[in-house]
Amino acid sequence: MPSSSADQTLAIRVVDSMERMSGRHPGYRRSSARGASFRATFTPTGEAAALTTAAHLQTRAVWATVRFSNSEGDPRTPDTAPVTRGMATRFHLHDGSDTDLVALTVPRFVASTPREFLELTEALAPDRLTGEPDPARVHAFVGAHPHLAEAVAQQPPIPVSYGSTAYWAIHAFIWVDEAGVSRPVRYRWEPEAGRTALTAAEAATRTAHYLTDELHQRLEHAPVAFDLRIQLAEPDDPTHDPSTLWPDHRKEITAGRLEITAPADDQDPWNMQAFNPTRVTSGIRLSDDPVLAFRAHAYAESHRRRSRNQ
């Protein structure tokens, strides 16, 4: 991906602003600070093979590593909070390379451009007097960007389990087939166990780390599985705006099944790793979504800081 110094400068501003919003927690990711990593196998169904040459979407199963996280930048945020959760997956391909798929428990992103995201994080910074975000500033942000009203109003579920909620990779990606024909797609992980959520009152009875504890317990009895569902675009579906959805009735296929089997042997290397949604493989290209391209810069900046224990 071409790297522009303007993007890098903006990434520094965005990560600074994320730190003002969530506090600075040395050594932690500036978003999705607290998480846990797991071993998995991904088995393609073959349904995607006619649409992309991507190696992990053909016929052979690959190893994968999955990091589930609480999306807040403050690692002390309890699992009982009504916030989004993350699922970052790294597919380890047979040629020794990797490709990542990074997803959240909401289908839309809260900004259409990196600058809008910067403005939103600035609006969410805690007020000096109350220590809480000022709802009037968020209201003003939405007033100035009415197209983001639905995305900002999304209520993520408080899942019963990391294994009982859906995760969306949100952006459009472009699949390229053997003949060079390209087609925009969107990804969703659909839990085999079905989607189940807690009410706020039920969540209040759970512990601060119940989601990680629950997944460890669940894996002692059986693997936890997800289907990789793919939504296929029709010719005029926009690919540049992660705050919008394609119609529900767009054709979907199941590209494969992910089976999570056990906690990763060693959590430390995975805590140090940086997932990167722009790390695609041959047969998959980035769309024209400016937020997708920008994420590579923001994640690198966060990784640079936390690698120095800042």
List the x/- string, 27-56, binding to ligand HEM by CB under 6 A.
--xxxx--x---------------------
> What is the distance between the alpha carbons of residues 59 and 185, in angstroms, rounded to a whole number?
19
Question: Among residues 57 and 170, whose Cβ is nearest to ligand HEM?
Answer: 170
Question: Among residues 98 and 177, whose Cβ is nearest to ligand HEM?
Answer: 98
Is 174 within 8 Å of 287 (Cβ atoms)? yes
Question: With binding defined as CB under 6 A, does residue 69 bind ligand HEM?
Answer: yes
Shortest gap between Cβ of 135 and ligand HEM (angstroms)? 22
Question: Among residues 56 and 67, whose Cβ is nearest to ligand HEM?
Answer: 67
Length of the chain as a residue count: 310
User: In the bound complex, which residue of the shown chain has the CB atom lying closest to ligand HEM?
Assistant: 86
Question: With binding defined as CB under 6 A, does residue 258 bind ligand HEM?
Answer: no
Shortest gap between Cβ of 263 and ligand HEM (angstroms)? 15
Question: With binding defined as CB under 6 A, does residue 91 bind ligand HEM?
Answer: no
Question: Among residues 250 and 304, whose Cβ is nearest to ligand HEM?
Answer: 304
Question: Among residues 29 and 56, whose Cβ is nearest to ligand HEM?
Answer: 29
Site for ligand HEM in 3-32 (CB under 6 A): 14-15, 29-32
Shortest gap between Cβ of 102 and ligand HEM (angstroms)? 5
Shortest gap between Cβ of 176 and ligand HEM (angstroms)? 21
Task: Report the residue from 10, 51, 54, 103 that binds ligand HEM according to the rule CB under 6 A.
Answer: 103
Task: Report the residue from 99, 226, 275, 284 that binds ligand HEM according to the rule CB under 6 A.
Answer: 275
Question: With binding defined as CB under 6 A, does residue 295 bind ligand HEM?
Answer: yes
Shortest gap between Cβ of 137 and ligand HEM (angstroms)? 18
Site for ligand HEM in 176-235 (CB under 6 A): none
> What is the distance between the alpha carbons of residues 197 and 161, in angstroms, rounded to a whole number?
8
The three-state (H, E, C) secondary structure of the chain, written as one string? CCCCHHHHHHHHHHHHHHHHHHCCCCCCCCCCCEEEEEEEEEEECCCCCCCCCCHHHCCCCEEEEEEEEECCCCCCCCCCCCCCEEEEEEEECCCCCEEEEEEECCCCCCCCCHHHHHHHHHHCCECCCCCCECHHHHHHHHHHCHHHHHHHHCCCCEECCCCCCCEECCCCEEEECCCCCEEEEEEEEEECCCCCEECHHHHCCCCCCHHHHHHHHHHHHCCEEEEEEEEECCCCCCCCCCCCCCCCCCCEEEEEEEEEEEECCCHHHHHHCCCCCCCCCCCEEECCCHHHHHHHHHHHHHHHHHHCCC
Cα angle at 220 between 214 and 225, to 5 degrees? Answer: 75
Site for ligand HEM in 117-176 (CB under 6 A): 117, 169-170
Using a 10 angstrom Cβ sphere, with 0-12 exposed, 13-18 middle and 19 or more buried, the burial of residue 181 is exposed
Shortest gap between Cβ of 251 and ligand HEM (angstroms)? 22
The interface region with ligand HEM, picked from 50-58, 90-98, 223-231, 294-302 by CB under 6 A, is: 294-302
Binding residues for ligand HEM (CB under 6 A):
14-15, 29-32, 35, 67, 69, 86, 88, 102-104, 109, 114, 117, 169-170, 242, 274-275, 291, 294-295, 298-299, 302-303, 306
